[in-house]
Amino acid sequence: MLKVCVGHSNDPDSEGAISEVLDRCAKQLGEVSPQAGILLAAVDFDYAHLLAEIDRAYPGLELIGGTTDGEISSVMGFEQDSIALMLFASDSVTIRAGIGTNVSKNEATACEAAVSMALGDRSLDDIAFAIVLPESLTTSAAAILRPLERALGEQVPLFGGLTADRWQFERTYQFYKTEFHSDAVPILMFSGAIAFGYGVSSGWKPIGNPGTVTRVSENVVHEIDDRPAAEFYRNYLGDRPPSSDYPLAIYETDSKNFFLRAPVGNDPVDSKSVTFFGDIPNGATVQLTEASRTEILSASEQSVSQAIERFPDTATLKGALYFSCASRRQILGSRTGEEYEIARASYGHELPSLGFYTNGEISPLSEARERVCYHNETFITLLLGES
C-alpha cells in the first residue's frame, strides 16, 4: 500500500508553521509511519528547526527538499512565504534519499555520491525513477544533469526542479534529512510497486524562421546563423530587448520536440550577444516563441493530461508533484494561482499534491525518454501511484 499525505502552512513563524504541517500530516497518516518525504520552504525560515522537528516526529525519514520561488499544494494552492511537506508511506515501495555536496567544485563527484547514497544496496535496474532538487546558482544545470545521467544510466527517468530564492539570485538551500546545504544535489530514488506518469508543457509556440547557433559560450549566445544573436531577436522584437516573454525553442534531435531557454537580456559585456537562464548547445536549431497568458495557463492542463495518458491503466493514482518555472510566475503575476487550480480541476477529485516554482525544471523531453532535459518556463507534472 502507498499512502501520500501533504501538510502546508503560511505561518511566518518557523515553530508554528512546522507544528501545523506535522499536525496535518499526522491526522492523515494515522498509525502509519512514513518512509520518505519532500520539504519545500520559502527563503526566510529556520531550516535547522524545521528539519529537526520533522526528524523528531519521524526519526530517520528519507527526506530531501529545498527553497523555492513559491510553493504549491493541495492544501493551500499557491502560496509564497510558506512551507509544504509531502510524506510517503508504503510497505511495497522503497524510497531512499542521498546528497552530494560542494557540487560546483566537482559536479561528477557530487552527483555520483548522491546517487550511490540513495541507491544503497539496490541495483539501478530496480529504480523506477528519481527526483532531484539541486543547486541553481553556483554551477550550471547542464553541468549537474550530465553526470547525473551517467550515474543513473539511461533507464532511470529523472524529474525535479532547481531550488530558488524568490527571484533574489543570491543563495539557495537544499535539504537532506536533518541537514541543510547550499551548493548541493539531493536526490530521492523510488523502487518497488511504484507507478508514474509525467507531462511536459509550456504554452509557448514557435514563430518565424529557425536559425542555428553558430557561436556560444555556455549560456551566452554570440551568434545565430553567423550573425549577432541580438540581431536574431531584433528581427522580431524591434527595439525591445530580449526577455522571458519570448524564450527560444531549442531543437537538438528533431524538428518536433523542443525545450525552452529564457533570455536574461543582452549580455552586459557584449551587447550583440544574448544571455540565457541555462546553457545552449552549439549547433542547436533555435526558434523564437511567443504565448499569451491564457496559453501559458493552459499548459498546466496539457501537462496533467499528458501525465494521465502515460500513467498505467492498471495502477492506482495516489499523488502528484508539480515543477513550474519562476519566470512563469513572474509573467503570470496575480494570475499565478490559476495555474494550480487549472491542474487540480483536471482530476475531478482531490489528489494529494505538492510543487514549487523553480529556477529551472527537470524531466525527459518527450514520451520517448531519450534524455533528461533542463527546461525553462515549463510546467512539469509527475503523477505517482501504486502498481
Domain parsing of the chain, residue ranges: 2-201+296-386, 205-290
Q: Roughly how many angstroms between the first and final C-alpha of the chain, as a whole number?
A: 9
Q: Are the CB atoms for 366 and 270 separated by under 8 Å?
A: no
Give every CB contact of residue 312 below 8 A, 6+ residues apart in sequence. 195, 197, 385, 387
Give every CB contact of residue 151 below 8 A, 6+ residues apart in sequence. 111, 112, 114, 115, 116
pLDDT of residue 365: 83
Q: Which residues pair with 217 in a beta bridge?
A: 220
pLDDT of residue 267: 66
What is the rounded distance in angstroms from the CA atom of residue 177 to the CA atom of residue 188? Answer: 11
pLDDT of residue 107: 96
pTM greater than 0.75 (yes/no)? yes
pLDDT of residue 215: 96
Helix (H, G, I), strand (E, B) or coil at 261: strand
Name the stretches of the chain with pLDDT < 70: 253-255, 267, 269, 367-370
Question: DSSP labels for 67-104?
Answer: E-SSEEETTTEEESS-EEEEEEEESSEEEEEEEEE-TT
pLDDT of residue 155: 86
pLDDT of residue 75: 97
